[in-house]
Amino acid sequence: MPGGAPLLRQVAAQASMEARLMLRNGEQLLLAVVIPVIVLIGGVQAAKHEGFDFGLPQKPIDALTPGVLALAVMSTAFTSLAIATGFERRYGVIKRLGASPLPRAGLLVGKIGALFLVELLQVVVISAVAFAMGWNPHGGVVTVLLGLETVLLGTAAFASLGLLVAGTLRAEATLAAANLIYLLLMAGGAVVLPASSYGAGEQVLTFLPSGALGEAMRGALIHGDCYGRDQLVLLAWAVLGTVITARTFKWE
């Protein structure tokens, strides 16, 4: 009998295809895995040779790993998604997918599923490198659950912002803007280093999605605790980004 496959199978196929396309792209793979690993290794080595304590009493590997995991989420959910979606709009891919049996909601769920698949790979690789360097997270099951919650909220916040950029700018402008924002937030957005490392800017940085994600991840993996304010900031950015994206996103 002709007809579309069940919705769940369509979504699973779309998520699998999106994840494969992201990982086949050298630039996306660099953002997703290589850069966070380089930041982790480079930060730990710099701390050993230069004596940086990053404003925390923990060992450098314990202080940096949560922030690098947060950076990995930001690189996939924001930069990679924005760039991929921007060029899909340019080449008419999204418009043609809209004519397939896959509904728009299924397309969006498939993209989010692909993000989680790539983030799972990132967490496995970064955690393996961190454990090899002596990482010792605290909190047991509570830490894992809080870390998962933070990843979900961070993904929602940055994915909505990534789609906002991709849905309003041309593909070339999206490429430039997404990479520029990523670099600025990585260097000065309190995602890798704690907000306290930035002096007077601490209070402002914690209200950025990058700062909230970094602080929430550090709270979960270092202290085994949930910082309610950081979670609420991420939730607020997710809601705000979703509302604005729904009003401004152009499918072609």
With bands split at pLDDT 50, 70 and 90, how would you rate the model's confidence at 53? low
The pLDDT tens digits of the residues spanning 212-234 come to: 999 999 888 887 777 688 899 99
Q: What's the Cα-to-Cα distance from 226 to each of 220, 232, 233, rounded to whole Å? A: 6, 11, 13
Burial of 65 (0-12, 13-18, 19+ CB in 10 A): buried
Question: What pLDDT digit, counting tens, does each position of 83-137 carry?
Answer: 888 888 888 877 777 667 777 667 777 777 888 888 888 899 999 999 999 888 8
State the DSSP string of 37-58.
HHHHHHHHHHHHHH---TTSSS
| pLDDT for the residue 2 | 65
Judged against a pLDDT cut of 90, whether residue 34 lies above it is answered with no
Is 142 or 173 the better-scoring residue by pLDDT?
173
Ordered alpha helix ranges (H), 51-103: 60-74, 81-90, 93-97
Give yes or no for residue 166 having a pLDDT over 70.
Answer: yes
Percent of the chain exceeding pLDDT 90 equals 23
Q: How many residues does the chain have?
A: 252
* The overall pTM is greater than 0.75: yes
Tokens encoding 126: 């970064």
State the pLDDT at residue 55: 59
Q: Within 13 Å of residue 169, how many CA atoms lie on the same side as its CB?
A: 19
**pLDDT band at residue 246 using 50, 70 and 90 as cut-offs:** confident
**Alpha helix (H) residue ranges in the chain:** 7-24, 26-29, 35-50, 60-74, 81-90, 93-97, 104-132, 141-168, 171-188, 202-205, 209-222, 228-248
Per-residue model confidence (pLDDT) at position 105 = 66
- Residue from 133, 151, 131, 160 nearest 71 by CA: 151
| R_g of the chain, CA atoms, integer Å | 18
State the average pLDDT over residues 11-29: 79
